[in-house]
Amino acid sequence: MKSVDVLIGLQWGDEGKGKIVDFLAPEYDIIARFQGGPNAGHTLEFNGEKHIMHSIPSGIFHPAKINIIGNGVVFDPVIFNKEISELISCGLNPSENLYIYKRTHFILPVHRLLDAALEKAKGTSKIGSTLKGIGPAYTDKYARHGLRIGDIDNYDFIDKYNNIKKLQLKNFHSLNFDENDFLIDNLPFLEYEKLWLETIELIKHFKRIDGEIYINEQIKNGKTILAEGAQGTLLDVDFGSYPYVTSSNTVASAACTGLGISPSHIRKIFGVFKAYCTRVGSGPFPTEQDNETGEMLRTKGNEYGSTTGRPRRCGWLDLPALQYATTINAVDALFMMKVDALDNLEQIPVCSAYAINDEIIEYLPFNLENLELKPVYTNFKGWNNFNNQYHLPEEFVNYIKYIEKKTNTPISLVSMGADRSKTIVLYDFMK
């Protein structure tokens, strides 16, 4: 039986994946992260409190559910430990229901240094990384000398650690920086490294599992799994706006390699998108409103990064990009987020195509940085605020019908606010 559903972001991240995973968690036995790392910032809100998860799955507030960090994730013990402390202060006991794959790779302190140095060396063409060491950690994984969670139980852990550190410090110095040029989370390198190594001891309180065996066993026993994506399709290392992307595959198919499950176990693909667009960091963004309109969207949507606090770049919904994302992920159900941020506008433009010189195209071209590329907008009449699923304003229905037509995918859920309760299910997408 197919029992794994995959939930992914369809834009440049920050679509609201955390809220939806928390909302859907009661329907599943296991919630698992399969890629990315603490560059993610998944926000959950309920009972008047807000929680931000970076490396821990967003199902963690449901103590009866198993939460798993998969092999496709890169893992920072210091950030993880901070998250754990916050969960404990909320009265949870995450060491009971949170497991980590032994095959998950570590983000080392030197990866944080390298991330900062590589970004600085890029100057004006910097990626706008969250500087969490994601790129350098994946680089070491694929260069086949990464350090993994399972290694902490081996006698030669510290030797392996020192070998990678030595090698990567050499790379770091070759960029003409020294350790004192950067602070990591406000600490000098050596102090941060001390903290990092101490934290490794705390990780030993958590179950480190042969995850690929465990998860397949659970599937065999009829358990259901929700795979929680991080970032978004337009940040995918292969299909995003390269090189302004993250260093992992963020598309739905990554759930298979990031957890060790076969594609034949995948049941549904859920795609999360915002009713408009945002991007944090550099790179092309055709519908960006670098003006008062963008400022208005930023204020109405409170668009500030949950991982870095950076103001997000804002713009209108980009349908050729959304259509691209729904196609390569074969999305079964769309979840539209932050509808309330568009409440009470007179007019809502949507990018329905691009113009390149005199040619109109409706697909996402290879080169989004083409200066001649201009969005073509279709204007929709705005709606007054609403929170009643039985009386959707006609203007809003027109807006979603158009998106459904263009993406050939049903909008099955809309979110009207950050709180769990502000969620309207339009179709039963679980069937």
For ligand IMO, which residue of 5, 14, 45, 303 counts as binding (CB under 6 A)?
A: 14
* Interaction between residue 14 and Mg ion (CB under 5 A): yes
Among 16, 36, 38, 41, binds Mg ion (CB under 5 A): 41
- In the complex with ligand IMO, the residue whose CB is nearer, 115 or 340, is 115
Percent of the chain that is helix, strand, coil (3-state, to 5): 35, 25, 40
Which lies closer to Mg ion via its Cβ, residue 51 or residue 165? 51
Q: How many residues does the chain have?
A: 431
359-391 burial code (b ≥16 CB/10 A, e <16):
eeeeebeeebeeeebebebeebebbeeeeeeee
Which lies closer to ligand IMO via its Cβ, residue 36 or residue 375? 36
Question: Residues binding ligand IMO: what is the number (CB under 6 A)?
Answer: 22
31 binds ligand IMO (CB under 6 A): no
Unique residue bearing structure tokens 């957890």: 259
The option from ligand IMO, Mg ion, none interacting with 281 (CB < 5 to 8 A, set by class) reads ligand IMO
Nearer to Mg ion, 119 or 179 (CB): 119
Select from 104-112, 226-234, 328-336, 401-409 the region that touches ligand IMO (CB under 6 A).
226-234
- The verdict on 228 binding Mg ion (CB under 5 A) reads no
Among 147, 152, 235, 342, binds ligand IMO (CB under 6 A): 235
Rule CB under 6 A: say whether 13 interacts with ligand IMO.
Answer: yes
Where b means 16+ CB within 10 Å and e means fewer, 229-267 reads bbbbbbbbbebbbeebbbbbbbbbbbbbbbbbbeeebbe
Q: Are 37 and 105 in contact (CB under 8 A)?
A: no
CA distance 364 to 324: 7
228 binds, among ligand IMO, Mg ion, none (CB under 5 to 8 A by kind): none
Return the number of the residue (38 or 41) whose C-beta is nearest Mg ion: 41
Q: How far is the CB of 336 from ligand IMO (least distance, A)?
A: 16
314 binds ligand IMO (CB under 6 A): no
* C-alpha span between 251 and 239 (Å, rounded): 8
Asked whether position 130 contacts ligand IMO by CB under 6 A, the answer is yes
Cβ–Cβ under 8 Å, residues 398 and 381: yes
| Residue 286 binding partner per list ligand IMO, Mg ion, none, with a CB distance cut-off of 5 to 8 Å that depends on partner kind | none
Three-class secondary structure assignment of 139-199: HHHHCCCCCEHHHHHCCCHHHHHHHHHHHHHHHHHHCCCCHHHCCECCECHHHHHHHHHHH
Close Cβ partners of 154 (under 8 Å, ≥ 6 residues apart): 160
Q: Which is nearer to Mg ion, 13 or 349 (CB)?
A: 13
Give the burial string for 4-33 (b: 16+ CB within 10 Å, else e): bbbbbbbbbbbbbbbbbbbbbbeebbbbbb
Active site residues: 14, 42
Question: Is residue 232 within the footprint of Mg ion (CB under 5 A)?
Answer: no
Contact of residue 230 among ligand IMO, Mg ion, none (CB under 5-8 Å per partner type)? ligand IMO
Residues forming the site for ligand IMO (CB under 6 A): 9, 12-14, 39-42, 127-130, 132, 134-135, 230-232, 235, 246, 280-281
Residues forming the site for Mg ion (CB under 5 A): 14, 41
